[in-house]
Structure 1
Amino acid sequence: MGRFGWERWLIGGVLVAAASGIGWVGYQEMQTSWLQAGVLTKYGETLTYGVDQGASALVKYPTQGPYNERLGYTEIPKAIKGLTDEGFRIEQQARTSPELADFVEYGGFAVFREKTRAGLTLKDRNGSILYAARYPERVYDDFDSVPPLVVNTLLFIENRELLDPTFPKRNPAVEWDRFALAILGLPAQWINPGMRIPGGSTLATQIEKYRHSPDGQTSGATEKLRQMISASVRAYLDGQDTTFARRRIVVDYLNSTPLTARLGFGEVNGLGDGLWAWYGTDFKDANAILRQTPQNSLEAMRRAEIYKQVLSLLLAQRRPTHYLIADRNSLNDLADSHLRLLASQGSISDELRDAALGIKLRFRNDAPLPPSISFVEQKAVNAIRTRLLGMLGVPSLYQLDRFDLTAETSLDGPTQQRMVDVLAKLNEPGFIETLGMAGFRLLDAGKNDLHKVIYSVMLYERGPSANYVRIQADNLDRPLDINEGAKLDLGSTAKLRTLITYLEIISELHGRYGHLPRPQLRSVSLDATDNLTRWVSTYLSDAADRGLPALLAAAMERRYSASPGERFFTGGGVHTFVNFDDKDNGSIPTVTESLRSSINLPFIRMMRDIVQYYVAEGAEDAGGTLLSDPANPARQAYLEQFADKEGSHFLNGFHSDYRGKSPDEALALLATRVRPVPHRLATAFLSVRPKASLAEFTRFMRDRLPKGDLSDQVLERLFEKYGKDKWNLADRGYITGVHPLQLWLVEYLQDHPDAKRSEVIMASADERQETYSWLFKTSRKQAQDTRIRILLEAEAFQRIHKSWARLGYPFDSLTPSYATAIGSSADRPGALADLMGVIVSDGIKVPTLRVERLHFATGTPYEAVLGFDPKPGERVLTPEITQTVRKALQDVVENGTARRVRGAFTASDGQPLIMGGKTGTGDHRYGDRVMARTATFVFYIGDRFFGTITAHVAGPEAARYKFTSALPAQLLKSLAPVIQPLIERPVATQTVDRGH
């Protein structure tokens, strides 16, 4: 050797030895993961979270990933904002450690023990479960519940080394040989982005991918790295030994692998739901069969069929939409090739292989039917689910049911169930007999089909800051909730709303005039143009007690005639009204007596007084001479408004007649509406087709009047005399005998046959005014006054509607007619109950709660608990008004139409509870055709409970039923044993006092 040769050999030997040592260490690490196990376990111990009181700034919600979207985790921030805006506050929220926050911030997926299945849970006020949805529906509970045949098949296909017990600390997220193949294939993928290469995915990284990566896809090397790092850290959350973590990976994969979606079923996740959705195979049966040794050929064939289904679903996960929907034959071929491969490797027997090869995959033709749902049983639950959609901003019940959410509701589950049980039996003749619901003004089991009668019950409990729905039930086995989802004629219950408006005006007048000296009050009385102002000012000028309670009491003793003999101009026409009982016709009852016996005509006249009060105010706002002075400039604006409104009404009707017709068909229809007289038909034709030639005109006229004496000279004179330019629109309407706007519309449709209603209205603005030009002449004052009064009445009803809406009236407008006082504008039982809640609460309007607390993502870093945050209610009525109304409603129960319920409920000491209420019977007709019959009782019980009870029959068959509001009143009396335990429940144990 040369000089220093031995040193070079020595150094080389050391380097080779070092490299060998590093290689050996690297090899050992790849085999055992001992270094990763130590480092990642320690690191995982820092990735923690906990839940503490109040809102948290130390929480980071995910923004993507199918798993996070399905369970609602991505929507929690939006939900929290919406709920806090709606009166909820954060009671508890998760706090993540800084290390976990940084891990997520720098690209990792939040690592925690994730749920395989979750869904919406609703609990009643006692904590009992009312409703629970869990998705996936069919899952393995643990590793031991998975048949070994399924485990072995999955590992053979996807991750053969996963459960190897040789190295208990092994990282299940990485198989180094597969990872190396993936790395080597990257250059080819960069050259050809669409090229599929062998993946480095283990089951652990696949779970990360389809749960958390955008759209469940791996978009590139960076995304793959996120999956691997997150899966690696997650694997060591339970310590360095990953044996149980690896078993959990198998179970999680089998329970959650995505298998596309099926119409009628929705998203399919996991082997259990996959077998049911795609093959109609029961999951429990399938697992039992796969565990057993077949005893005969039939059992062997069934086992082979199920095994091939399982195998196909494990393979379909690679391209689920392609294999399960687009190309099922190729999935069958792929399964067959794997059957041969599995048998060749000894993973399955030759017998199982051969039997399965002889079976072709048979997919179920129709989507699985959803479980049978009783809408009667679920009515309250569905109402709460629907309410949650709005509270959380979720677009569908499908999505809501998959949220990881528990909601605590106000419902009293045991009482709700007892109520449902009773309502379900009300179609039995014997049962209604025992409840006293058969008889005069009730039901006739011999003539009435009891199955047609729909009953609904709502019961609320008043709390210090909210009203709590305790019962919401009906026996309608359809999704519609008639308490809150229907528009019903509830008859005389409208008298309650009318009475309150009447008393509000009396109170308003007291505030305006109660402080004036008596001489000035007499002057006000003399100048008043409406009855209510005149009466209040007169009363105050003479009364010794000028306080509001005394005035309201006196207002309840005002008398209105019950005579049906008067004709009333209202709603744009002349109407007459009748009383329910003609024995009342000759009476002049007080307001109290009218409410007690629910007499119609006094309330018609009361509504007239209310309207006249607002009309007088409107006229005063217009200068005070709107009706007396023809020169008042405000008259022109009212008349133009009338022309526009009535013209639009007529055009809407005409458009419905002519919609969809060709120009020739529209002209032909118009011609049938004109008397067959030459000058009328000539005017009609030339109005619609002003540019037509004489020849076209001649042909039209002779076609329409084949027997008429229409010489060429006569037709030429008609053509010249009745041209469109010779007469204005109003004159042409007069000549033809049809509405001028009908002429205009048919002409417009000649050039715009597809014109929509809105386009027609917009284009006809000038013509509507021209049509009513005759009305604008000062010589037409009487006609003008009539139309101005119609508009003033409509404006009055807009003000009445504003008052009603403030108290919970549910619809956008009222019918502008005195008939609104007796129910023509319809109502909803739930809205009436809200009104009763205001009355019971001395005029304070508080929220109505069905959901008191929401618990999101329990046991996750996204956990949040929000509860109702009590705030002072809004005063919408004075205490004096509500006290007056309560007294009147108590009289209805004590002495009036609801006296059958008197004494039905008792306090805990056995004393009868004070009750009040208002009955109503709605006989909904369209002309002579009966549409529905409805009877309602809105009530309060003591100072804590209130609600509504309704009976309803829809359709022409309602004509056979003669029940009145006596029916719901009797039902409430019969339900007393069901409701009484709820009433006797002490206030101290109620949900309302749980610190909200």
Structure 2
Amino acid sequence: MAVLVIIAGGVGGAFVSEELMTSRLQARYLTALGRELSFPMQSGASEFLPAPDGPYDSRLGYNQMPAFVDRLVERGHLVTRQARPSPRMVELADLGLFPAYHEKNRAGLRLLDCQGEVLQAGLYPERGYERFEDIPPLLVNSLLFIENRELLDPTQPRRNPAIEWGRFAKAAADQVISVVAEDRSTPGGSTLATQIEKYRHSPDGRTGSRREKLRQMGSASVRAYLDGEDTLKTRQRIVLDYLNTVPLSAKAGFGEVNGMGDGLWAWYGRDFDEVNRILGRPSAETGRVENGEDLPTRALAFKQALSLTIAQRRPSYYLAGGAQGLNELTDAHLRLLADEGVIQPSLRDAALAVQLKLREEPVAAPPVAFVTRKAVTSLRTHLSGLLGVPRLYDLDRLDLSASSTLHGEVQRNVTAVLRELGDPDRARAAGLYGFRMFSEGQDPSKVMFSFTLYESAGGANRLRLQTDNYDQPFDINEGARLDLGSTAKLRTLVSYLELVAALHTEYAGRDAAELRRLPRQGSDFLTHWALDYLATAGDRSLKPMLEAAMDRRYSASPQEQFFTGGGLHTFGNFNREDDKKVMTVREAFRNSVNLVFIRMMRDIVRYHVARNPAASGIFTDPDDPRRRDYLNRFADREGKVFLSTFYRKHQGHSPDESVSLMVEGLQPTPRRLAVILRATWPEASLAEFGSALGKHLRESDKLSEGEILDLYDRFGPGRYSLPDQGYLAGIHPLELWLAGFLRTHPGATLSQVLEASGDERLAVYTWLFRTRHKNAQDVRIRSLLEVEAFIEIGHSWRRLGYPFESLTPSYASSIGSSADRPAALAELVGIIVNKGKRLPVVRLDSLHFAAGTPYETELVRGPGAPEQVLPEALTEVVRGAMVDVAENGTARRLKGVFHRADGSPLVVGGKTGTGDHRYDVYGKGGQLVSSRVVTRSATLVFLVGDRFFGTLTAYVGEPYAEQYAFTSSLAVQLARSLAPLLEPLMAEDAQGQPASCRIASDA
């Protein structure tokens, strides 16, 4: 390498000695070389300078930059600016040298809000010296004596700190001798400068070969002269860099330990500032060391610090049980330092008198208030996925600044309010006590509140606020499956209007006479209505038809029984005053009337059933071969449902316990028990059978040996089919089969149970295939057609953000039985706000990697391609319905609470929902035996003006849920009380544009 030739070759004769002492020629050449090393930032993307494979470059992400940028570009980001390494810098990298620039001692992930304010900033190592002048001279002198005695020699201003020639010559000689004498010790000749190059940039932080050693020396030499021929300041910086970054293994609970500051804390539990004060940090005013600590205190601090400068050669060994060896080695150095006059004998003696005690327990992380970091944690998780960095630990140590879309001030203020709501006085001040909210005397601290707000700006939905008051890592907004009650009516309304729009597309082009001649299919009343409407409408455009659909009328009566979800069900309205009304869809949405939406969902299901090709004519011909296929599928599906229920019931119980579970609530007669035992334990001997009977029979039912033998023979294997055994025992036959299967396969999983039970599931339903049961067959076929209809409805819901794979196949899904997530509801409202377009959700606007390095790269979130997923006219109608809810319906508390900067009101729309999730137990005849409240929730999904939308949820789970009876009024009132805090976010400039946050196009 050219650099090493200059360093090692000399200029011959009499100049060699002078060059070794003064580095004059090296300084001149390398300073000139350093002027050619640059990496200016320029627009657009460029080729990356290859980064070394060392620990430093891996930790800060430099050698992963190409992969990071490729992933980000694939996910819609654009490179706006990137460093352009100069040709000479590229040339030196090609020669094998590490890139020469002023490296950072500390770096980490910085998250900024949309105004550029810091949300979180991590620096690793966490503790360190800012300047060379801050380091106690005692520590500097001791370090240099041990590692690099000539480094700070002021008489040689041009000295190359990469090489200490005396040590280098001795090390080279030892290496040569070791070739002949294999037992010859070969200590290294590394200076602090080359050690830094080694542990930062060499593979695994090690010197694997002589070539690698020369690489370290050459790289350190080039780096030393970046600031000119006089290297004294550079040599001081080398001491600073070394003490701030020397690797000291890793510690449980803390992670990787680098530098004296983190080392003192992780190894000894010592406060860095305190140790520096004790050792005598120079005064900023006088420059003198001022120390008033007693000698034993100072001796302990010095011995601990000194031990770390020694331990760096094998830190893992010392941490893993070598404390005594470290103590002895430190004592040896103390004696040597005193003998050479580096420290006073009194300090040596005091330090020898104390024993080093390494911190044995894991380093406890400081307490984390999850609730204040919830949004930041969500951003970090999102960024982790973007970059493909699975561990947040590694993500936090990248040299990266990320600008988020969050509004920090509003985030902090709203979070503070939500946290205070556990105080009854604060909750009362927010207006949360009253009718359908908290009752006087109730404790609000058990209720969790979650609030999320988005802004549609710059071609994307930007997350401005995401917070809750739940002081755990769990995210209620995105991580829960919640019963959100009547918010499901918003999804149902959109599905209903989507079908109307589809009918408009199909039939609007036909004339009235043709529409009247079209055949009508059974109970598909939605299509009937569409044909009649289009045959008479003066204006056939889409929006008037959608408005007319909003004016269709349904009964709100709860008297009807509905066959859905495989059985007969009845439903009730929240407000009984609605029970006798017939009302429009518009009115029902405004006042959240359940029965209208149950009947609307029935129309939606019938629409899909009528268009299912498999259903055509299937009920009229009993010999239609499709009937057997449907019945087979019904038997298989129904059997899986029952087996799943029975599996949860019996899993983990012994065979005797399973028998007790089956006869629980039944009269345990001898015959019933005999059937159960012979069905579930057919291989039992007569004695085993008799013993088991005795365990479960009542005292009054004790049997003679003859009676036991009779039962044993009468119900033995093969005497009765599985359905007949179930009939005789009064127990579902699949439960009998499962109990027997689990007896012989006690560790079986549910998937194994389902795989093994195929024949039994069909056998239980053999009666269905007899034609004399045609009516029963029709009921089952209709149930399966309903399931298939809900599969189609589920596709529609998922296309608009519904987060789960399937819906509960019941009309009750229209009022919340299929659950939802607040974030998913917000996505649907975002589509409505954006006139039917799905815009990308953006949490991070820009990323700035490796500032001030040859790897520096800036990226911004590129403009996403909007996807039109709903007709614009449809979203206008739904938006109008939501505004009606906020002005005249269940969310009318919100009317007029949001304002522009000039005081004019912003239009508000919403949909409310109350979730009351219960665990009900039914006895014979469908009688309700018990009901337990599992969760309760109150949800508001809303829009404000033309840009903002979001969700607010109140949630409480077991065992506290049964104590509360609040409704969605709680969420609406909380939104009202939070409105003033949101005004800074909703501010607009003179042109009506967002004034509070930058967007990607401004970056």
Q: Same fold (TM over 0.5)?
A: yes
Could you say if the C-alpha distance between residues 848 and 41 of structure 1 is closer, same or farther in structure 2, counting changes exceeding 3 Å?
Answer: same
- SS of the residue aligned with 2:752? helix
Alignment match of 1:147 (pick from 119, 136, 145): 136
Q: Which residue of 2 aligns with 1:323?
A: 318
Alignment match of 2:911 (pick from 918, 925, 929): 918
Matched, 1:947 2:954: no
In structure 1, give the amino acid aligned to 2:113.
D
Q: Which residue of 2 aligns with 1:69?
A: 58
Q: Which residue of 1 aligns with 2:623?
A: 631
Q: Which residue of 2 aligns with 1:4?
A: none
Structure 1 residue 550: Cα displacement = 1.4
Structure 1 residue 975: Cα displacement = 2.6
Q: Within 5 A, what are the aligned runs for 1:133-532? A: 133-186=122-175, 197-291=186-280, 299-444=294-439, 446-524=440-518, 526-532=520-526
Q: Which residue of 2 aligns with 1:978?
A: 981
Could you say if the C-alpha distance between residues 295 and 182 of structure 1 is closer, same or farther in structure 2, counting changes exceeding 3 Å?
Answer: closer
Does the CA-based 8 Å contact 1:674-1:736 persist in structure 2? no
After superposing the two structures, state which structure 1 stretch, 221-230 or 416-425, moved more. Answer: 416-425
Matched, 1:55 2:40: no
Q: Which residue of 2 aligns with 1:602?
A: 596
Distance in 2 separating the partners of 1:976 and 1:245 = 56
Q: Within 5 A, what are the aligned runs for 1:17-166? A: 22=12, 24-57=14-47, 59-62=48-51, 64-166=53-155
Could you say if the C-alpha distance between residues 376 and 700 of structure 1 is closer, same or farther in structure 2, counting changes exceeding 3 Å?
Answer: closer
- Aligned residue pairs total 971
Once the two structures are superposed, residues 388-410 of structure 1 have per-residue CA deviations (whole angstroms, 9 ceiling, x without a partner) of 11111111222111111111111
Q: Within 5 A, what are the aligned runs for 1:858-873? A: 858-873=851-866
Distance in 2 separating the partners of 1:78 and 1:435 = 49
- SS of the residue aligned with 2:804? coil
Does the CA-based 8 Å contact 1:324-1:331 persist in structure 2? no
- SS of the residue aligned with 1:268? strand
Q: Which residue of 2 aligns with 1:555?
A: 549
After superposing the two structures, state which structure 1 stretch, 825-834 or 505-514, moved more. Answer: 825-834
Structure 1 residue 189: Cα displacement = 6.9
In structure 2, give the amino acid aligned to 1:581.
N
Q: Which residue of 1 aligns with 2:850?
A: 857
Matched, 1:710 2:705: yes
Distance in 2 separating the partners of 1:247 and 1:645 = 76
- SS of the residue aligned with 1:451? helix
Q: Which residue of 1 aligns with 2:639?
A: 647
Distance in 1 separating the partners of 2:721 and 2:584 = 56
Does the CA-based 8 Å contact 1:316-1:324 persist in structure 2? no
Does the CA-based 8 Å contact 2:52-2:201 persist in structure 1? no
Could you say if the C-alpha distance between residues 159 and 840 of structure 1 is closer, same or farther in structure 2, counting changes exceeding 3 Å?
Answer: same
Structure 1 residue 470: Cα displacement = 2.0
Structure 1 residue 730: Cα displacement = 3.4
Does the CA-based 8 Å contact 2:521-2:610 persist in structure 1? no
C-alpha root-mean-square deviation of aligned residues, in Å? 2.9
In structure 1, give the amino acid aligned to 2:869.
V
- SS of the residue aligned with 1:49? coil
Does the CA-based 8 Å contact 1:442-1:967 persist in structure 2? yes
Distance in 1 separating the partners of 2:42 and 2:639 = 65
Could you say if the C-alpha distance between residues 248 and 843 of structure 1 is closer, same or farther in structure 2, counting changes exceeding 3 Å?
Answer: same
Q: Which residue of 1 aligns with 2:790?
A: 797
Distance in 1 separating the partners of 2:976 and 2:685 = 79
In structure 1, give the amino acid aligned to 2:46.
S
Q: Which residue of 1 aligns with 2:284?
A: none
Q: Which residue of 1 aligns with 2:1001?
A: 994
Once the two structures are superposed, residues 191-248 of structure 1 have per-residue CA deviations (whole angstroms, 9 ceiling, x without a partner) of 9999973112221121122112222222222322222222222222222222122111
After superposing the two structures, state which structure 1 stretch, 497-506 or 476-485, moved more. Answer: 476-485
Structure 1 residue 411: Cα displacement = 1.7
Q: Within 5 A, what are the aligned runs for 1:610-759? A: 610-618=604-612, 621-622=613-614, 624-659=616-651, 684-685=676-677, 687-688=679-680, 707-711=702-706, 715=709, 722-749=715-742, 751-759=744-752
In structure 2, give the amino acid aligned to 1:527.
Q
Matched, 1:776 2:769: yes
Does the CA-based 8 Å contact 2:278-2:291 persist in structure 1? no
Identity of aligned residues (%): 51
In structure 2, give the amino acid aligned to 1:539.
Y
Distance in 1 separating the partners of 2:185 and 2:725 = 78
After superposing the two structures, state which structure 1 stretch, 358-367 or 273-282, moved more. Answer: 358-367
Does the CA-based 8 Å contact 2:50-2:93 persist in structure 1? no
Distance in 1 separating the partners of 2:935 and 2:803 = 20
Does the CA-based 8 Å contact 2:608-2:789 persist in structure 1? yes
Distance in 2 separating the partners of 1:531 and 1:864 = 60
Once the two structures are superposed, residues 614-634 of structure 1 have per-residue CA deviations (whole angstroms, 9 ceiling, x without a partner) of 22222xx11502333332333
Matched, 1:832 2:822: no
TM-score normalised per structure 2: 0.91
Q: Within 5 A, what are the aligned runs for 1:932-971? A: 932-971=935-974
Q: Which residue of 1 aligns with 2:286?
A: none
Could you say if the C-alpha distance between residues 420 and 673 of structure 1 is closer, same or farther in structure 2, counting changes exceeding 3 Å?
Answer: closer
Structure 1 residue 108: Cα displacement = 2.4
Distance in 2 separating the partners of 1:294 and 1:590 = 85
In structure 2, give the amino acid aligned to 1:645.
R
Q: Which residue of 2 aligns with 1:13?
A: none
Structure 1 residue 587: Cα displacement = 0.9
Q: Which residue of 2 aligns with 1:572?
A: 566
Distance in 1 separating the partners of 2:884 and 2:564 = 31
After superposing the two structures, state which structure 1 stretch, 916-925 or 762-771, moved more. Answer: 762-771
In structure 1, give the amino acid aligned to 2:452.
M
After superposing the two structures, state which structure 1 stretch, 658-667 or 364-373, moved more. Answer: 658-667
Matched, 1:821 2:821: no
Q: Which residue of 2 aligns with 1:6?
A: none
After superposing the two structures, state which structure 1 stretch, 362-371 or 153-162, moved more. Answer: 362-371
- SS of the residue aligned with 2:936? strand
Distance in 2 separating the partners of 1:623 and 1:851 = 49
In structure 1, give the amino acid aligned to 2:600.
M
Structure 1 residue 295: Cα displacement = 7.2
Once the two structures are superposed, residues 948-985 of structure 1 have per-residue CA deviations (whole angstroms, 9 ceiling, x without a partner) of 22223333333333332222222222233222233223
Distance in 1 separating the partners of 2:651 and 2:167 = 68
Could you say if the C-alpha distance between residues 656 and 63 of structure 1 is closer, same or farther in structure 2, counting changes exceeding 3 Å?
Answer: farther
Could you say if the C-alpha distance between residues 682 and 485 of structure 1 is closer, same or farther in structure 2, counting changes exceeding 3 Å?
Answer: closer
Could you say if the C-alpha distance between residues 417 and 555 of structure 1 is closer, same or farther in structure 2, counting changes exceeding 3 Å?
Answer: same
Once the two structures are superposed, residues 121-145 of structure 1 have per-residue CA deviations (whole angstroms, 9 ceiling, x without a partner) of 1112221212111111111111111
